[in-house]
Chains A and B, each alone.
Chain A
């Protein structure tokens, strides 16, 4: 039972953040590798799959509330698909220990950036779009 319960709870907790678009996936990766004991590449695979239902559940509300910028979608997705295919291929070819070190360095950069970010977002930027 707890074999299932803890993973479902971990997915739900990080899923709220993922639904926001704030890197819940990175938190789930940390959980999967540091607590659930998955190898880095397996954890990354699980995390990719996990984002599909999570995003699928959050997106209708985002579209309905008018928060999705449709003009930005197509160019970003097109180059994103090409880049992600290359990177996924590279990651699955790499030694998992090396991959884990790279992941740690990435987290360190992101964490420091977020911690020392100066300006809170301008009030005008928070407004709902037309």
Chain B
């Protein structure tokens, strides 16, 4: 924690943001999966702060990427609408219950779901 606010720490934050930006723009998501470990491991943020801060960093990146996808034909806003409504509700719940969630369990369940997705995309 003593590193917080120093120049090298700022550089790590910038590097972490850049890495998350590459992933988030290229895959249209997943930036948080790169950003959270970097914020926690290199920028001296506690685990829970790393998660919450990543949401604040990723949001503007998604706004810019969504604009680019839209201009280049990779986005149909009408198809997105129901997901936006669901996401709004889920986000509200997520923000409120965040304090009570076990981080370890969350990671385990999440890992299995992600591996299932990898299987579907690759096999």
* A and B are interacting partners: yes
Choice from A12, A100, A103, A120 contacting B87 with Cβ under 8 Å: A12
| B63-90 interface with A by 8 A CB criterion | 63-66, 68-70, 72-77, 79-80, 82-90
Contact between B90 and A24, CB atoms less than 8 A apart: yes
Interface hub of A13, A16, A80, A105 (most chain B Cβ within 10 A): A80
Choice from A10, A33, A45, A77 contacting B76 with Cβ under 8 Å: A45
Bound CA span A114–B120, Å: 18
Q: How many residues of B contact A (CB 8 A)?
A: 99
Contact between B114 and A23, CB atoms less than 8 A apart: yes
CB-based nearest B residue for A67: B52
Bound CA span A18–B59, Å: 11
Closest CB-CB distance, B82 to chain A, in whole Å? 4
Contact between A90 and B26, CB atoms less than 8 A apart: yes
Contact digits for A88-103, partner B, Cβ 8 Å, 1 yes 0 no: 1111110000001111
On chain A, the residues within 8 Å of B99 by CB distance are 65
Chain B interface (Cβ within 8 Å of chain A)? Answer: 4-5, 10-11, 13-33, 35-36, 39-40, 43, 45-66, 68-70, 72-77, 79-80, 82-99, 101, 103-104, 106-108, 110-118, 120-122
Chosen A-B contacts, 15 in total, with CB atoms closer than 8 Å, are A15-B89, A16-B97, A21-B55, A51-B59, A57-B88, A58-B92, A60-B95, A75-B17, A87-B24, A89-B72, A92-B69, A103-B27, A104-B118, A114-B110, A126-B47
